[in-house]
Amino acid sequence: MVQVAIVGASGYAGADLVRLLHRHPAVELVCITDLTNAGKPFSDVYPAFRGRVDRILENIPPAEVAKRASLVLAAVPHVAAMGMVPELLAGGARVIDLSADYRLQDAAEYAAWYGHSHTSPELLAEAVYGLPELNREAIRGARLIANPGCYPTGAALPLLPLLRAGAIDPDSLIVDSKSGTSGAGRTPSPGTVFCEVNEGFKAYGVASHRHTPEIEQTLSTVLARSVRISFTPHLLPLNRGILTTTYASMTPARTTEDLLGLLQRAYAAEPWVRVLPAGQLPNVAHVRGSNYCDIGLVADARTGRVVVVSAIDNLVKGAAGQAVQNMNLMLDLSETTGLDVTPLTP
Amino acid sequence: MVQVAIVGASGYAGADLVRLLHRHPAVELVCITDLTNAGKPFSDVYPAFRGRVDRILENIPPAEVAKRASLVLAAVPHVAAMGMVPELLAGGARVIDLSADYRLQDAAEYAAWYGHSHTSPELLAEAVYGLPELNREAIRGARLIANPGCYPTGAALPLLPLLRAGAIDPDSLIVDSKSGTSGAGRTPSPGTVFCEVNEGFKAYGVASHRHTPEIEQTLSTVLARSVRISFTPHLLPLNRGILTTTYASMTPARTTEDLLGLLQRAYAAEPWVRVLPAGQLPNVAHVRGSNYCDIGLVADARTGRVVVVSAIDNLVKGAAGQAVQNMNLMLDLSETTGLDVTPLTP
Amino acid sequence: MVQVAIVGASGYAGADLVRLLHRHPAVELVCITDLTNAGKPFSDVYPAFRGRVDRILENIPPAEVAKRASLVLAAVPHVAAMGMVPELLAGGARVIDLSADYRLQDAAEYAAWYGHSHTSPELLAEAVYGLPELNREAIRGARLIANPGCYPTGAALPLLPLLRAGAIDPDSLIVDSKSGTSGAGRTPSPGTVFCEVNEGFKAYGVASHRHTPEIEQTLSTVLARSVRISFTPHLLPLNRGILTTTYASMTPARTTEDLLGLLQRAYAAEPWVRVLPAGQLPNVAHVRGSNYCDIGLVADARTGRVVVVSAIDNLVKGAAGQAVQNMNLMLDLSETTGLDVTPLTP
Amino acid sequence: MVQVAIVGASGYAGADLVRLLHRHPAVELVCITDLTNAGKPFSDVYPAFRGRVDRILENIPPAEVAKRASLVLAAVPHVAAMGMVPELLAGGARVIDLSADYRLQDAAEYAAWYGHSHTSPELLAEAVYGLPELNREAIRGARLIANPGCYPTGAALPLLPLLRAGAIDPDSLIVDSKSGTSGAGRTPSPGTVFCEVNEGFKAYGVASHRHTPEIEQTLSTVLARSVRISFTPHLLPLNRGILTTTYASMTPARTTEDLLGLLQRAYAAEPWVRVLPAGQLPNVAHVRGSNYCDIGLVADARTGRVVVVSAIDNLVKGAAGQAVQNMNLMLDLSETTGLDVTPLTP
């Protein structure tokens, strides 16, 4: 059993890490930490876990965490993450960071989009972007994983095979995403009060959301050329799920079946990507609580564009589940270990 | 007082017509009809109206309706509408048809998208497309109004001034819409069962939705050239509202303020269009129950595209409210008569 | 036109006062105040009101408010209310207080349930409990109205006629209420974050909710004997509405029709109480946005108990609407003035 | 591996059986049947199961099912169930029936409440009521299990220990339940259309719901005297969960801690009942997707009543999960086998 710690276990992503790891057959959860709830049993903060995870939340320094655990999953906000990751690594732990702090390879771009200068830029070159379907081999041996953002995961997975095959024009990409409210975190704020979200729907962060450069970096790296996209997130009045609708010009026009075939071949061996048959499209309800990314598409001969739709659970494949998938790779386990959960429906 | 009838009063659009007209100061509701609920008080079908509209729903032939009412609002499904509109007109009534039957000017296009040949194509030339902000003068004198579809209303209003000003490229338009479930009607179906919609979100009718040619017709008419768009509707787990996010290439790039200024000038005198200031974006919650169309936008210098967002209540500005606005015009009333309702929030 | 002010206009009850009063034909809204949003247009805080109520929120002392307005509606939290009501009255204004501060006639009971000693106990005898169906005549001449709580309104209205007629045993009353989340206010808190409420349902304040003594006081006053009830509130994952299910032993057993007849006779002349026919029961959706209290019941011969169900919109008949109804009485207007809104459905 | 069949796998309870059984380590799912979807892969009906359960739904006669499976879980409506259970038993299968057909021991009472005469009354004496916490030993050896109703499970579990201890008056029981909409099934009907349920809340089946005699039978059996209760179900606008609030007179008054102690001792060894500490109360969100029944209570010295609150997932402990728990008992497995799922939150 590998000794594992979760830093920042009281947020929604942290709690989903606890959900997935407390019964994981190959790891032992030795430490869960939280700043504000330290001293309380985890099940006081999340009563759903009563009798399952009654362990006390602790508030201990990174060096101490690294002493107890050989692998640490950090689910704290950006900036806070880079305040502890170097110390965790120095203490000998491998780290999966769920924040944005090590995702962008260029410290200047990080500073531009996040409004903070990076305090450990020397780690950016070492950090591996933890999208297993893209970087599987590098992840296995990594010391530091930058776990992808929720929107970038839902955006990149359906596009990568299409771009690699030259099937779509990289300059035409328009990514329209809609996320459940758990993506906004558990800390109360005026924008996430129930009555402000329920029966409402809006766009936010238009032309300015911080996941834009992350998506662009992934696509640019794969194509070895600079890609710029339009990306618009929206807030859905539901708990879990991101649906991403992407528009791209086909080069040249093909049939729906052709393009689906391309995706099916690319993802045939992937345990957590499901390419739907022609005529079917994803629904966030069909991946709820699971690590799946469902993908469907329609080629539109009228306009010469393809409309690609993906669905993930933002807390699972978009955060905690993908982190566990990365952990499994780092520990030479099957990628499905501890993740074999059927989506909860209805 | 003008004698007015509502045909098909038991659907959601019909019921919203009743809501807006039973207290309208210039009309008398002389007849409300329904096929399946005929004989019942309206308030048995919609208990919210108890003590307000207890009138009996009737099932009477169009000729009889036309005898009683000088203006008829028809809220029945397409095909059913063209089965009664000629008779209503022949009986001397003016008609506002909320169905799609008289919206497309080309009977062949109607047949292609709706799968039925048109049974009164001779009326297509006469029918006026009832978007007051576009066709105000023609509406005043019209005998037959084709009340616009919900998606086409939310899509066209923000785009018209931008296209007219040559500010955006008509070949670049991508219209991503999200609608509340009342748009799917009140008839039970597997796709609208509560548990199938709640906590779910999906695209549907991708590259094939019947509102596509309606939007294209409006934009093409205004530009006097053929316009083709990508249009994708999605189903939101909420009752009322459509948010439409449209992407267009700017020709050339301008600032957010410039483009908003363009919209503000175009709609300065419109009672039911609200152009939001820079930095603010629409939310379907802010128009709930009202006839407003809220519009905001962000010009993105990085990509050269503008992202335009509109919000309407699909049952009001997208159906019943717009019909009443058209009726007001036909009766030489102020366009706000009977519509002066503050959005219900929260 | 009577000059009217709203103190605390940024909370949900305050905003519903603005909704109902800005178009009220007999009053002029001369002042709306708020502590935290002072200086902003009301429509910045509630974008639904853009173009309708763009008036600036002010932060001015009670004496100044009383100079501008002859009638003040105060929608601030308890304790804050008693900090300003005496000054408002001293300044010559009549006051409708939506807080709990003047509802309980006994200052000791107030202190016991609210945990604060009362700072203006001398006003408790003067304050009129503003349930028009109970205290109509006293309300007309009152200087200070204690606007009833939301739960107490939904609980008392169905019970009063049954208790007065001796039809039910006052010692058997069990009041099980379920409220939409707007009742918890607009201030962010851990318990009202969207994901914590959505898809959840719980009881709270069991055997300890502050509305308990208020309900008991109303029932006790009417019966001229002490009444104790069991009262349990629950939190519903929806915006507006309270459904109250009350159980009482019949003395003696009667039919559903008999008991409904009793209620129908008691409320025949009431504009805002709808007694449903046998076989129909209230739904919070059927009163949404309106001032109605819908009441239904079933007499159960098996158990000798009657199950009484009422539905109100907690922000309207449970707060702002009832306040306007009281204001109408105080100003010798029809009780329906400014309140004639059809419930918004769906 | 035991060969198991699910009859009626396309309803919500049937689908939750598939969710729990397709990965159950001790059984092999050899057959899933459905009338209307026969011939389709299960994952076409429930796309969440794509790649997990693609098995074809069959429409085969009970005798054939009994040939393939030694244990059959039947999730078909009442009446349909008693049309096949005798044949399944005759074919040698053990049967867990999730319908109401074998729950009431008295065929006359069944006929009175369900409106059909029973067609296999001879089996009523043999059928074991499958509430493991009550009938564990009888379940182990049973040939036919009547799986309890959802409401009766949530109502009985918290009351049984209190009644057995004589702590509450059986004649005072008032059971106020609130259920998520999945309890109404997947078949479209006017009452379960999304917009009719969302933002609504109502009581239904007042004083006439068919689960009333089932609850009374369980309590009466335990007390060896006739018990009559008031039972009112309500419809919650959420997918999964039943919260039951029960009121009972204490005999005599005790403290919250005393009564909780009683429950804690009674359920100390139960894997699926969680008695919460004083000060905490259940929420349906905290049991979502799991087999837990959470119980809390408050003793109210003011009224001499105790308020007991329980939460279950109506599809799990209220249906499929309890059926699997019963199956585990019948197969001499640990009761938690295949059920060890953490509630999904948020």
Per residue in B38-48, pLDDT (tens digit) is 999 999 999 99
Distances (CA, A) of A108 to A101, A113, A114, A222, B311: 12, 9, 10, 21, 37
A206 confidence band (pLDDT: 50, 70, 90): very high
- B contacts of A195 (beta carbons < 8 Å): 346
Instruction: Verify that C271 and C167 share a domain, yes or no.
Output: yes
Instruction: Verify that B37 and B166 share a domain, yes or no.
Output: no
Q: Tell me, what's the pLDDT at D154?
A: 98
Mean pLDDT along residues D169-181: 98
Q: Tell me, what's the pLDDT at C304?
A: 98
Residue A172 DSSP symbol: G
What b/e sequence results for B315-337 when a residue is b if at least 16 CB atoms lie within 10 Å of its CB, and e otherwise? bbbbbbbbbbbbbbbbbebebeb
The verdict on residue D124 lying in a domain is yes
pLDDT in tens, C135-187: 999 999 999 999 999 999 999 999 999 999 999 999 999 999 999 999 999 99
- A contacts of C199 (beta carbons < 8 Å): 239
Chain centroid to Cα D50, Å, comes to 27
* Complex ipTM value: 0.98
Instruction: Verify that A128 and A203 share a domain, yes or no.
Output: no
User: Is the CB of D316 inside 8 Å of chain C's CB atoms?
Assistant: no
Domain that holds residue A156: 151-314
Q: Tell me, what's the pLDDT at B292?
A: 98
Instruction: Verify that B159 and B125 share a domain, yes or no.
Output: no
CATH number for D165:
3.30.360.10
Residue of B nearest to D237 (CA): B194
- B contacts of D194 (beta carbons < 8 Å): 181, 184, 192-194, 196-198, 237, 239
Mean pLDDT along residues B247-257: 98
Instruction: Verify that B310 and B321 share a domain, yes or no.
Output: no
**Mean of pLDDT over chain A:** 98
Give CB contacts under 8 A, 24+ apart, made by B61-66: B61/B87, B62/B7, B62/B87, B62/B88, B62/B91, B63/B87, B63/B90, B63/B91, B65/B5, B65/B7, B65/B31, B65/B33, B65/B91, B65/B93, B66/B90, B66/B91, B66/B92, B66/B93
Mean pLDDT along residues B101-122: 97
Cβ-Cβ pairs closer than 8 A, C with D, add up to: 148
Instruction: Verify that A291 and A321 share a domain, yes or no.
Output: no
CA distance A300 to chain B (A): 6
**Mean of pLDDT over chain B:** 98
Q: Tell me, what's the pLDDT at D114?
A: 97
**Measured distance CA(A84)–CA(A89) in Å, rounded:** 9
Instruction: Verify that A161 and A77 share a domain, yes or no.
Output: no
CATH number for C33:
3.40.50.720
User: Is the CB of C230 inside 8 Å of chain D's CB atoms?
Assistant: yes
* Selection from A26, A32, A22, A11 nearest residue A76 by Cα: A11
**Measured distance CA(D291)–CA(D20) in Å, rounded:** 10
Please tell me which of the candidates B15, B199, B345 has its beta carbon nearest to residue C48: B345
Q: How many domains does chain C have?
A: 2
User: Both tokens of residue C226?
Assistant: 């002490």
pTM of the model: 0.98
Contact D285 A48 (CB under 8 A): yes
Mean pLDDT along residues C66-75: 98
Instruction: Verify that B265 and B248 share a domain, yes or no.
Output: yes
- Tell me the three state secondary structure of residue C267: coil
Instruction: Verify that C155 and C298 share a domain, yes or no.
Output: yes
The verdict on residue B343 lying in a domain is no
A220 confidence band (pLDDT: 50, 70, 90): very high
Q: Tell me, what's the pLDDT at B52?
A: 97
pLDDT in tens, A42-86: 999 999 999 999 999 999 999 999 999 999 999 999 999 999 999
Contact A232 B239 (CB under 8 A): no
The verdict on residue C336 lying in a domain is no
Residues 6+ apart with CB under 8 A from C270: C133
Please tell me which of the candidates B12, B197, B239 has its beta carbon nearest to residue D199: B239
Beta bridge pairs of residue C299: C306
The verdict on residue B201 lying in a domain is yes
Q: Tell me, what's the pLDDT at A198?
A: 98
The verdict on residue A218 lying in a domain is yes
Helix-strand-coil split of chain C, %, nearest 5 = 35, 20, 45
Per the CB < 8 A criterion, the answer to whether C341 and B18 are in contact is no
Q: Percentage of chain A surpassing pLDDT 70? A: 100
CA distance D14 to chain A (A): 12
Q: Tell me, what's the pLDDT at D28?
A: 98
The verdict on residue B345 lying in a domain is no
Q: Tell me, what's the pLDDT at D35?
A: 94
Touching C (3+ Cβ pairs <8 A), the chains are A, B, D
Instruction: Verify that C134 and C164 share a domain, yes or no.
Output: no
- Tell me the three state secondary structure of residue C62: helix
**Mean of pLDDT over chain D:** 98
Instruction: Verify that B14 and B118 share a domain, yes or no.
Output: yes
Q: Tell me, what's the pLDDT at B209?
A: 98
The verdict on residue D337 lying in a domain is no
The verdict on residue D96 lying in a domain is yes
B185 confidence band (pLDDT: 50, 70, 90): very high
- D contacts of B186 (beta carbons < 8 Å): 190, 193, 195-196
